[in-house]
Structure 1
């Protein structure tokens, strides 16, 4: 069993799951080099899950910049594979399966004698028509509590601005509590979802209307799937929550075990009125004030 909040480099869980954006091959290479060198210096295993990048280019770039990648590959300290063999190994992208993969990989790195595991995952496949790609936001929300607060893992999610729609990139970026590059102000999403830091749960910020249904659906899916016994949904930063969004949240709460309700924090006045008018919507919910 991993110790809760165990860390690499002394970082808390929020610091170990990082969104890394780049717009050029040189930016990509600089992020890669810094990450790998830090891992090797701490005798950690480093894994790279390539998507748009040819796996051979990863090792060539490291070699060209002074890292003995070939030797690291031979001793198992550097493992370069593809998204097809990891994130997309099944018939569709499955967040539940990936949670298990991360825990197994951390254990495997320790069994091989390494001080920890760090990984880079290229996430450009999230912008294509991959079956299950619509669950990527759900995955990014859940992984904080289900993996990083449980296992000594450091992972950078690589987002290539050239390959992902700006709106998609903005939403996915906001699901990370740490970022390695400044965001483009034009990419700020209308509605964002992020994990909470002090307790298991999620936070919605912005306006939850029709145009943001996929964000709400992903947050609701994360609520329903979370194994946490006590779960909070912070709505205090919402400007608007329409009835369809509330219905998604209610449906998610009802799919959870009866003894594991969702605690609504800072719900807008309109939500309080709706729950008063239709008390049956409260099933699976606990409404609290800030």
Structure 2
């Protein structure tokens, strides 16, 4: 359903700082967990207090999200650095909630924390999203120019009407997305969730074939039988890069496939000429369609 203007700026989770008011649109529970757990863990490590407004996620689940990142969520809750609150109730008042956030920022600073990281599941407002517009306006006015508050608003695309969803996302200065598996001047590889796979930006050559191979190896632990490698933002790939892709496909068990999308026609011809297009575990599709 995602229909977001390409001009909207996006920050990776590791780059979020106090003063940011960002939106997380997601259509996968895994994407939500990856982004939010990284955001929380980063805040805890930075000495910030984290406040989570939960609608559909139990506090124990959040603790489990943090465990693979080496963060003890239960301990953070016990010492008051991480708090999980119900998102809203039937008596919801946007002004009261926003005023509560302002108090929470002051309390965090008074307790010796660097600031407050806020995140909330916005599904609490369904089916009437009018209150969300009031709430988002209040949060925006609180975060803007602040050196003590960051906020990420979580919107599950599967729950919201398309028109409402686009309008609510536009209330945020930017989006937040999962951290890349690799990111330098030449190559950036970012996990995707719908479909599950990797989006490759930049150049894959002798200098970047090794990190590209590491990113491909990272997918070996994923449960999906088909992993999509999206080359829509690829600028160049040489023979070393193609060999890396082929070797990754050859190493797959028989029931798994690397599906390559948006590979340039000239490169598809090269694969066909040398016979690599018949590599077991490798499927080259035309354009972006499966």
TM-score by length of 1: 0.52
SS in 1 for 2:92: coil
Q: 1:151 Cα shift?
A: 5.8
Alignment pair present for 1:155 and 2:151? yes
Instruction: State the distance in 2 between where 1:20 and 1:156 align.
Output: 7
Alignment pair present for 1:77 and 2:81? yes
Q: 1:49 — aligned with what?
A: 53
Q: 1:58 — aligned with what?
A: 62
SS in 2 for 1:81: strand
Instruction: State the distance in 2 between where 1:162 and 1:55 align.
Output: 22
TM-score by length of 2: 0.52
Of 132, 135, 140, 1:139 maps to: 135
Q: 2:184 — aligned with what?
A: none
Cα distance, 1:41–1:150 mapped onto 2, change above 3 Å:
closer
Instruction: State the distance in 2 between where 1:72 and 1:146 align.
Output: 25
Q: 1:46 Cα shift?
A: 0.8
Aligned length: 164
Contact 1:52 1:122 in 2 (8 A): yes
Q: 1:114 — aligned with what?
A: 113
Greater Rg over alpha carbons, structure = 2
* Structure with the higher strand share, 1 or 2: 2
**1:33-72: per-residue Cα shift (whole Å, max 9, x none)?**
2101210221001111110222221112212443211211
Instruction: State the distance in 1 between where 2:111 and 2:160 align.
Output: 36
**1:149-183: per-residue Cα shift (whole Å, max 9, x none)?**
3562001001111222221111100000111159x
**1:220-264: per-residue Cα shift (whole Å, max 9, x none)?**
xxxxxxxxxxxxxxxxxxxxxxxxxxxxxxxxxxxxxxxxxxxxx
Of 4, 13, 28, 1:24 maps to: 28
**1:182-202: per-residue Cα shift (whole Å, max 9, x none)?**
9xxxxxxxxxxxxxxxxxxxx
Structure 2 unpaired stretches of 5+: 1-14, 179-290
Q: 1:170 — aligned with what?
A: 166
Aligned CA-pair RMSD:
2.3
Q: 1:138 Cα shift?
A: 2.5
Contact 2:37 2:62 in 1 (8 A): no
SS in 1 for 2:125: helix
Q: 1:250 — aligned with what?
A: none
Instruction: State the distance in 1 between where 2:139 and 2:109 align.
Output: 20
* Structure with the higher helix share, 1 or 2: 1
Q: 1:277 — aligned with what?
A: none
Contact 2:22 2:153 in 1 (8 A): yes
Instruction: State the distance in 2 between where 1:169 and 1:32 align.
Output: 19
Cα distance, 1:98–1:147 mapped onto 2, change above 3 Å:
farther
Alignment pair present for 1:67 and 2:71? yes
Instruction: State the distance in 2 between where 1:10 and 1:174 align.
Output: 18
Contact 1:55 1:82 in 2 (8 A): no
Instruction: State the distance in 2 between where 1:99 and 1:145 align.
Output: 9
Q: 1:109 Cα shift?
A: 0.8
Structure 1 unpaired stretches of 5+: 1-8, 183-290
